[in-house]
Structure 1
Amino acid sequence: MSTKSNPIAARFERAFDAEIRSRFFKGLEFAGPDGDPGWFGPGSAVWYVHSHLPTVLLGLVGAAYIEGLDPSISWMAYDHSRIPERADGIPTGGIDPEGAAVRLGHSLSFFIGTAYGSTATAERLARTVRAMHHTVKGTRPDGLPYDADDPDWLRWNYATVVWGLATAHERYHRRPLKGADLERYYREFVRVGEALGGTDLPGTKAEVAECLESYLPRLALTPIKAFGTGPNLRDSKVKPWEPGSPFMDWAARDMLPQWAQKLALYQPPNPVTLRLRRSTLWLVLNGLHDATGPLPEFRQAKARVAGGVSAPVASTAPAAPDPVLTRQEVEATA
């Protein structure tokens, strides 16, 4: 779909190309090789869900919110990621906009690349993320160790991501998958979690919900999380449609399961305001998607398999131990 006649869509395309595609999609192959279905292929639920970029973005925001309710995740981000603002190397409690943009860019390249990229592209992305996880180890202020390779953490992380993407799709996609088709998405997406080293992963909507709630005894609203949510964002200068803004914070908390909303001290507005906010967000997300159409990467993948597909890989689980790399070495390959 051409965006020349729609200035909003054209602006979005230019911004995405300059801020995301040119920086984080380098070396990713979508146009070839001919017949390669990648990890999922045409007709898959993943291809359908991930073709609606605005709901994918919202889903990742929601996933990041619920993920951070695990104190270990909060401290992993605080100690190892570029999202916290730092002065002389010490976190200030604020958010570094460039660090947040880098996190979003890498997340988008991963979930678009593993959905539509060639098999080699998807495998490369998974290896890079696994390598980064291998470097994230440390100790929380309360003395408990954290390790991004811990099987329990991998299971939690996987459940939060598939929950966020599927929930945003269900609530805000113009024509969401339902019933057995939605369950197919949960079942297919397990491939992504297995590629990152996850085991015993939930494969249905009910199993994901049960998995998330089962972690409740170990969850908490840490100071890191509390400072970056709810009323504490009231004076934020972040644009409404960007992660970290009061509106996107509301949208993420509004999607949470009820038990998580209680933990996050979420108080929904009155029913009229709630309906208005959700309707407005629905219109914005679908209006943007209708104006821009699917990403070029999706269209390239469709052309790649137009003449038929070869057999997909049998398993995405790592076949051998990864080499040990420093963070600098990992970032050089990203």
Structure 2
Amino acid sequence: MAQRPFPDPVEFARLKLVERVRGVFNDVSSGETPVPPSDDALFAKDTPIRMVHADVVSMMVGGMAALLLQMLHPHALRGVLDFSNFREDMHGRLRRTARFIAVTTYGNSDDAETAIARVNRIHSGVNGTLPDGTPYSATNPQTLAWVHVTEALMFLEAWLVHVQPDMPVAEQDEYFRQFAVIARKLGADPVPETKAEAQAVFRAMRKDLRAGPEAREIAELILEGKSPGAVGAIQPLLATAAVSLLPPFARTMLGLEAPGLAALPSKLLTSGLGGTLRWAFKQKV
């Protein structure tokens, strides 16, 4: 009787790694499966937004940095505090955000539009008042602009630091033009279309930022709250990398120390982990 071929141990390890990563970003218990890439997505294959958003590690690092910056905006912070279960289920919130990015970047354009419409419906019910009596709403175009700009800048910066430092400026600008498509559909305004425009919007909106105990509490949860499974094991590494991306003024406002000597080993390990996952998912830079 012919013997069954012995499985390739390298390929077996690759597939197990892919399975574990997909399990982190999909709610397997509810039957959720990875978003299948579509030829009818909002963005064409091999374009900057699809390359940047495909890198698991740099997206986690950039996403954490973006959240830290978003919590400095009083309206964004209050929306999280009043309408989110972020404190109780941080991982679930982050997983849902990651899925939204996956659907709008890679999914069928109809599915992307459905996901955007759903977020807009949710935002329409998120409103209230700040402690000083100022009204806030998740549909405020400028609040949405801050959320968008911080995400775009930090996702791209993490990619530049950990994956492709020599990414041409033209491709970086194309990334902002592509991401602007989603931002406009969500109601953000202003929406930058180049890196220089994004940096200008970021500087202009700095005057709207505030720091306080609640922003620091959420920042501590983002950086130190334990996620389940493999993500929890590498969270300190990702946290150090995320804090390294923040501008000095933001670290000061959030009461965070600059990583100092810890930045180099964190960068080396984060970049190495990212390379391993790109190998596992057969991604090319």
Fold conserved (TM > 0.5)?
A: yes
**Equivalent position to 1:159, from 127, 136, 149:** 149
The CA deviation string for residues 74-100 of structure 1, in whole angstroms up to 9 with x for no partner, is 22111101112xxxxxxxxxxx2xx21
**Structure 1 or 2: larger helix share?**
2
In 2, Cα distance between the equivalents of 1:185 and 1:207? 12
In 2, Cα distance between the equivalents of 1:43 and 1:136? 36
Structure 2 residue aligned with 1:15? 20
Tell me if the contact between 2:240 and 2:262 (Cα under 8 Å) persists in the aligned partners: no
> Number of residues paired by the alignment?
276
After superposition, the CA RMSD in angstroms is 3.2
In 1, Cα distance between the equivalents of 2:181 and 2:233? 27
Structure 2 residue aligned with 1:140? 130
The CA deviation string for residues 173-213 of structure 1, in whole angstroms up to 9 with x for no partner, is 15762211111111111001011122331111122122122
Tell me if the contact between 1:47 and 1:116 (Cα under 8 Å) persists in the aligned partners: yes
In 1, Cα distance between the equivalents of 2:66 and 2:8? 30
Three-state SS of the structure 1 residue aligned to 2:207 is: helix
- Summarize the Cα distance change of 1:116–1:3 in structure 2 as closer, same or farther, 3 Å threshold: farther
Structure 1 residue aligned with 2:276? 287
Structure 2 residue aligned with 1:70? 73
Tell me if the contact between 1:139 and 1:146 (Cα under 8 Å) persists in the aligned partners: yes
Structure 1 residue aligned with 2:60? 57
Tell me if the contact between 1:3 and 1:291 (Cα under 8 Å) persists in the aligned partners: no
How far does residue 157 in structure 1 lie from its aligned partner after superposition? 1.2
Structure 1 residue aligned with 2:256? 266
**Equivalent position to 2:267, from 272, 278, 286:** 278
Query: Partner amino acid for 2:114?
Result: R
**Equivalent position to 1:217, from 204, 207, 227:** 207
Question: Which protein has greater RCO, CA pairs closer than 8 Å, 6+ apart?
Answer: 1
Tell me if the contact between 1:230 and 1:249 (Cα under 8 Å) persists in the aligned partners: no
Three-state SS of the structure 2 residue aligned to 1:215 is: helix
- Summarize the Cα distance change of 1:224–1:7 in structure 2 as closer, same or farther, 3 Å threshold: farther
User: Identity across aligned pairs (percent)?
Assistant: 21
Three-state SS of the structure 2 residue aligned to 1:42 is: coil
Tell me if the contact between 1:74 and 1:222 (Cα under 8 Å) persists in the aligned partners: no
How far does residue 131 in structure 1 lie from its aligned partner after superposition? 0.9
Structure 2 residue aligned with 1:227? 217
In 1, Cα distance between the equivalents of 2:218 and 2:205? 22
Structure 1 residue aligned with 2:3? none
How far does residue 63 in structure 1 lie from its aligned partner after superposition? 1.3
Structure 2 residue aligned with 1:308? none
Structure 2 residue aligned with 1:202? 192
The CA deviation string for residues 144-173 of structure 1, in whole angstroms up to 9 with x for no partner, is 211000111111111111112111111111
How far does residue 12 in structure 1 lie from its aligned partner after superposition? 3.9
Unaligned runs of 5+ in 2: 1-6
Three-state SS of the structure 2 residue aligned to 1:5 is: helix
How far does residue 259 in structure 1 lie from its aligned partner after superposition? 2.8
Tell me if the contact between 2:124 and 2:139 (Cα under 8 Å) persists in the aligned partners: yes
Q: Taking structure 1 as the reference length, what is the TM-score of the superposition? A: 0.72
Query: Partner amino acid for 1:78?
Result: L
How far does residue 20 in structure 1 lie from its aligned partner after superposition? 3.0
Three-state SS of the structure 2 residue aligned to 1:213 is: helix
In 1, Cα distance between the equivalents of 2:8 and 2:71? 36
Query: Partner amino acid for 2:251?
Result: Q
The CA deviation string for residues 229-262 of structure 1, in whole angstroms up to 9 with x for no partner, is 469977x655784499544333222101233233
How far does residue 102 in structure 1 lie from its aligned partner after superposition? 1.7
How far does residue 109 in structure 1 lie from its aligned partner after superposition? 1.2
Q: Taking structure 2 as the reference length, what is the TM-score of the superposition? A: 0.83
The CA deviation string for residues 259-285 of structure 1, in whole angstroms up to 9 with x for no partner, is 323323333244x44222222221122
